[in-house]
Amino acid sequence: MEATSVQDEVARVRWWHRIDLGGGIVTPGRDPTPLRLPGLQIPERLDGLSVLDVGAWDGFFSFEAERRGAERVVATDWYCWGGPGWGTKEGFDLARRVLDSNVEDVEIDVLDLSPETVGTHDLVLFLGVLYHVRDPLLTLERVASVTRGTLVVETVVDMLWTREAAAAFYPGGELNRDTSNWWGPNPAAVEGMLRAVGFNAVEMLYRTPLRRRLTDAAKKRREGGSFRSALRQGRAVFHARR
């Protein structure tokens, strides 16, 4: 495929992920996606494993799992592919075609995940989704049902001032003025929910450090937001196993 043709197609898509399509073409996603990889601590090699990417959107992590040798990769989404989200499936379809990828796709809501609908998988990626769902515990129960190995959860966390399990509720646009955000659990709440749905080993591998939260909170205040609210928020990564 001619590089100029691919670049023209890329320009017509509203991207979220930054995906290297080869030939010097990187999709202009709003999210600096490759920079998130170190914090997720996904194994460098996934040879022989089956991977499920829940909430795949443009598919960066699906294609990355395939690049790392996964035997099978299944990407799922609904909110961004066919639901009310501002994203579409165009980016995923284009990237899969250009990369000559074998990643499978299933358009399905997270609450409809089950062994019958998507099978069970050695590694399940649940990245940037938990805080968007209205019922996080039920959602994690569905995700757990299709995880036979390791679940990687990356999410917004809130109420970092307390070690007791708690969660902030966003009935409007309190988090980033985005009405698709519903909950900001703190790390203890995330761990508690993961254990409640059947994971015996839960480890938090990353949490936004205080210095970074201070920087983000100062920026939020300059933009007219709440310094205090921003300071108590961050992001965290958990690995859970049965």
Q: DSSP 3-state assignment of 151? A: strand
Distance in angstroms (rounded) separating the CA atoms of residues 89 and 78: 9
Residue with more model confidence, 127 or 226: 127
Cβ atoms within 10 Å of 182's Cβ, excluding its own: 20
Question: Which residue intervals of the chain are DSSP H helices?
Answer: 3-11, 37-40, 60-67, 90-98, 115-118, 136-145, 187-196, 210-222, 227-231
- b or e along 124-150 (b: 16 or more beta carbons within 10 Å of the residue's beta carbon)? bbbbbbbbbbeebeebbbbbbbbbbeb
Task: Read off the pLDDT of residues 11-41 as tens digits, 9 standing for 90 and up.
Answer: 999 999 999 999 999 999 999 999 999 999 9
User: Measuring CA to CA, which residue among 144, 155, 135 is closest to residue 238?
Assistant: 155
CA atoms within 13 A on the CB side of 206: 18
User: Confidence band (pLDDT; 50, 70, 90) for 2?
Assistant: low
Six-digit token string for 24: 């010097």
Determine contact, residues 68/62, Cβ cutoff 8 Å. Answer: no
Determine contact, residues 53/108, Cβ cutoff 8 Å. Answer: no
Task: Read off the pLDDT of residues 79-107 as tens digits, 9 standing for 90 and up.
Answer: 999 999 889 999 999 999 999 999 999 99
pTM to 2 decimal places: 0.95
User: Measuring CA to CA, which residue among 205, 58, 74 is closest to residue 146?
Assistant: 74
Determine contact, residues 76/124, Cβ cutoff 8 Å. Answer: no
Distance in angstroms (rounded) separating the CA atoms of residues 211 and 228: 14
pLDDT score of 1: 56
User: Measuring CA to CA, which residue among 102, 111, 170 is closest to residue 139?
Assistant: 111
φ/ψ of 64, rounded to 5, equals -65, -40
Domain architecture of the chain: domains with CATH: 3-241 (3.40.50.150)
